Chains A and B, each alone.
Chain A
């Protein structure tokens, strides 16, 4: 594979996201305006929105969720950016990770100097079954979904293959969820910003208030094994292994590296980008890894001239807990089969040697699918600039990474960020 380099450096000089959660009465355009204004407020030396030259907006399915297609031009209008070119990018749950890549390519090509990248999704208008059916269209609607696969089902099947190959157990995955809720508990923008211990405490209080028998879980793992408190969705994935249904938006300001100094003295440079596609799961040789993630990360590492050991922290696509375990192996943080053990040993915790999903991940922060990839970048940007508050990772965070997946690995996009 030829190592490709960007023709021109690209930097992030602003990043912001709306709260992730369920917001009745707010549309995706309201959420995007919120993210845009927070992004503006984050630009140290200020941004004149009129200087933005183009928009790339990740959005999976406003068409079904909000009965609204053609969303990029609307986002341009609602942020006062008409008539600039506005392009919607759809690659399932990787939509805004790919929008970021398109924005980077727009600047690296010399076409633009200043680009707005965003992501939007408004999912909570529909009842759960219809959300499930809508997400399913990111799978193969001829040959996967009609025979009974669901999104939790795809990842659950990867989990059974992983358990069979490497001896992991459902507890391995539960510990990833526990860790991500610990992190999300420190993220004020998270949808489920509670630790599992807090969730248990709240359930006990609610039972008491309603005069029901108060549950007596011995510890968090007992709670996570309780079929009533943590029902099976698609075995071995239970409710607390699955990311929630969310509304949210995120916005990132990209500029040509040579212009970064007029926006901030603390720019984060994007040094690597990689993207790959894959076939349906049944056409893959290996069901314990996402080949597109391996390819995308190799491209990004080679472009950036770094390796997995250099990465200080990463936001990875934990739509399901098994996905985080596999991601940490596909990114070469841990050898194949060792990601589960690494998570159990706390190596991916905030104070571990490879902090993963300090934001709470999609699991706890929320997963408004078209906004999730851009949301990951917001966290890395905050952490690398020391703005992550209570969940700030200690030490010099000079290199960060995001890993964003569409469907069950049919699209993967990886980015590497450097603070110079």
Chain B
């Protein structure tokens, strides 16, 4: 793993090791998750990998009853909905992710501001198996 490569595949490789890492601009300090090679704030390209906090809070969410093909293949449907949302990391950026440990069939019970902790889920068939960042509620 070359440290100076800030691509999606480099990020995916870190996720597969259950590491939550983003990039930080060494010129202006802006932090990015997912990682990116160029800083959108100062337009510099002096990036470095940085460990990110694994705790966060739910900023927005939904319970998806009609999912995309990838989630249908993962076993989700109308009778087994899932939660996806936007989680703001403690003192860090926000990211889209599945949120586990909630009751997706009872979305009225889910509260914005709920603390969550990063976790990693494996999805896909043998050849296409990948690790995705997700968050777990109830253990934060």
Contact = CB atoms under 8 A, between A and B. Distances in A.
B89 to A, nearest CB: 10
Given A142-B8, A147-B132, A280 B63 contact: no
B34 A143 contact: yes
Interface in B30-75: 34, 59-72
Interface residues of B, number: 37
Contact of B62 (A133, A235, A280, A283): A235
Residue in B61, B62, B65, B67 with the greatest tally of chain A CB atoms within 10 Å: B62
B59 A287 contact: yes
Interface in B83-140: 84-86, 93-98, 107, 110, 112-113, 130, 132-134
B65 A157 contact: no
A234 interface: yes
Contacts, number: 106
Nearest to A144: B96
A283 B40 CA distance: 11
B12 to A, nearest CB: 9
B68 A160 contact: no
Given A148-B71, A149-B84, A282-B86, A234 B62 contact: yes
Interface residues on A, range: 35 or more
B8 A160 contact: no
Contacts of A143: 34, 95-96
B66 A234 contact: yes
Nearest to A287: B60
Given A160-B60, A282-B86, A282-B96, A152 B66 contact: yes
A58 interface: no
A327 B21 CA distance: 36
B115 to A, nearest CB: 15
A159 B34 CA distance: 24
Contact of A129 (B64, B72, B110): B72
B65 A231 contact: yes
A129 B112 contact: no
Given A142-B8, A146-B132, A148-B84, A282 B94 contact: yes
A96 to B, nearest CB: 25
Interface of B: 8, 34, 59-72, 76, 78, 81-82, 84-86, 93-98, 107, 110, 112-113, 130, 132-134
Shortest Cβ-Cβ A-B pairs, 4 listed:
A156-B62, A148-B84, A235-B107, A157-B60
Given A156-B62, A161-B59, A287-B86, 7 more contacts: A140-B96, A150-B68, A152-B64, A160-B110, A161-B112, A233-B66, A282-B96
